[in-house]
Amino acid sequence: MVDESGIMAFGRYAHIVGWGKAVPNRVVTNHELEQIVDTSDEWIRSRTGIHQRRIAVDPAETTATLAAKAAREALEVADIPASKVDMIIVATSSPEHTFPATACAVQDMIGAVNAGAFDLSAACSGFVYGLGVAKGLIASGQAENVLVIGAETLSRITDWSDRNTCVLFGDGAGAVLVQSSPVPGGILATEMGCDGSGGDLLILPAGGSKMPATLETVASGQHFIKMNGRAVYRFATRIMAEATRRVLSKANLTVDDIDLVIPHQANERIIAVSMRNLKLPEEKVFRNLQYYGNTSTASIPIALYEALEQDRIKPNDTIVMVGFGAGLTWAGTAIKWGVPTEKETSLWRASQRSASYGLAKARSQWLRLSHLLGSNLVTEDGESLAQALSNRLEDWRKQLESDEEEEEQRHDPKQEKPSLPNGTSSSDES
The residue ranges that bind ligand COA (CB under 6 A) are: 39, 43, 47-48, 124, 163-164, 167, 202, 227, 229-230, 232-233, 236, 266-267, 294, 325
Give CB contacts under 8 A, 24+ apart, made by 7-10.
Answer: 7/135, 7/136, 7/139, 7/140, 8/139, 8/184, 10/139, 10/140, 10/141
Residue 314's closest CA among 334, 340, 294, 332? 340
- Minimum Å gap between C-beta 243 and ligand COA is 13
Length of the chain as a residue count = 430
Cα–Cα distance for residue pair 173/44, rounded to 1 Å: 23
Among residues 104, 124, 166, 267, the one annotated as catalytic is 124
Clarify whether 264 is annotated catalytic. Answer: yes
Q: Nearest distance from residue 159's CB to ligand COA, in Å? A: 12
User: How many angstroms separate the most distant Cα atoms in the chain?
Assistant: 73
What is the C-alpha to C-alpha distance for residues 249 and 14, in angstroms, rounded to an integer? Answer: 19
Nearer to ligand COA, 183 or 236 (CB): 236
The residue nearest ligand COA at its CB is 229
Cβ atoms 240, 263 nearer than 8 A: yes
By beta-carbon proximity to ligand COA, the closer residue of 143 and 275 is 275
CB count within 10 Å of CB 218 equals: 12
Question: What is the Cα Rg of the chain in Å?
Answer: 22
Closest separation between CB of residue 165 and ligand COA, Å? 8
Complex with ligand COA: residue 128 or 138, whichever CB lies closer:
128
> Which residue number, 233 or 396, has a Cβ lying nearer to ligand COA?
233
Is 251 or 303 the residue whose CB approaches ligand COA more closely? 303
Residues 6+ apart with CB under 8 A from 338: 13, 15, 16, 17, 181, 183, 185, 186, 315, 420, 421
Is 15 designated active site?
no
Phi, psi of 18, rounded to the nearest 5 degrees: -150, 150
Is the Cβ of residue 131 or residue 232 nearer to ligand COA in the bound state? 232
Which residue of the set 15, 30, 166, 264 is catalytic? Answer: 264
Whether 371 is catalytic = no
Query: Is the separation of the CB atoms in 367 and 384 below 8 Å?
Result: no
Among 30, 145, 267, 294, the one annotated catalytic = 294
CB of 1 to ligand COA, least distance (A): 24
Tally: H helices and E strands in the chain: 14, 13
Distance CA 174, CA 92 (A): 11
Query: Which stretch of DSSP H or E encloses residue 190?
Result: strand 186-194
DSSP letter assigned to residue 182? S
Rank residues 71 and 275 by Cβ distance to ligand COA and give the closer one. 275
Catalytic residue ranges: 124, 264, 294
